[in-house]
Amino acid sequence: MPNPKKPPAKRIQCLSLKMVREKPSILYPQRKISSPREAAELFRQFIGDSDRKVFCIMTLDTKNQPTALHEVSRGTLNASLVHPRETFKLAIMANAASIIACHNHPSGLPDPSREDVELTERIRDAGSLMGIELLDHLVLGENRFASMKERGLM
């Protein structure tokens, strides 16, 4: 004889996700990113002279026009926790064709560390799976920057 008692119903949350503009927009007269230097200048406006490590991304459309800047992680003087999941969250919501990643080195020296190179590879590989290309990973120093693509590190 089957048990006439049914298990209680499972409550399922109904969710929605919305993007929120957190800072005033930045005007970009060139409209299209055509070099690592142009990207670095735009990121410098966004990150500023932070005394802690800040990792962020720029989302781009199919014509390499920036659509959004997103702070992914703000860390300590010499470390920042970054994961591909958080890195691509905004890129997916913004329908990005590609991204450029950037972080600062509060020490002022823009030389990429071994950890920077490993992170770049993880982000590149994750983006490849999702169809969102990582165009470059920039490291900002005091008055200089390093492009991992130009250095052959990605």
How would you write the pLDDT of the chain (154 residues) with one tens digit per residue? 666 788 888 888 887 777 777 767 777 778 899 999 999 999 999 888 888 999 999 999 999 999 999 999 998 887 888 999 999 998 999 999 999 999 999 988 999 999 999 999 999 999 999 999 999 999 999 889 999 999 999 8
Residue 70: closest CA among 90, 86, 50: 90
User: In this predicted structure, what is the pLDDT of residue 1?
Assistant: 60
User: In this predicted structure, what is the pLDDT of residue 85?
Assistant: 94
Given a contact cutoff of 8 angstroms between Cβ atoms, the answer to whether 148 and 137 are in contact is yes
Residue 64, phi-psi category: left (phi > 0), alpha (psi -120 to 50), beta (remainder): left
User: In this predicted structure, what is the pLDDT of residue 5?
Assistant: 83
User: In this predicted structure, what is the pLDDT of residue 154?
Assistant: 84
Given a contact cutoff of 8 angstroms between Cβ atoms, the answer to whether 140 and 47 are in contact is yes
User: In this predicted structure, what is the pLDDT of residue 19?
Assistant: 74
User: In this predicted structure, what is the pLDDT of residue 60?
Assistant: 97
User: In this predicted structure, what is the pLDDT of residue 3?
Assistant: 66
Residue 79: closest CA among 104, 100, 101, 58: 104
Q: Encoding tokens for residue 105?
A: 């080195």
Q: Encoding tokens for residue 54?
A: 């800040």
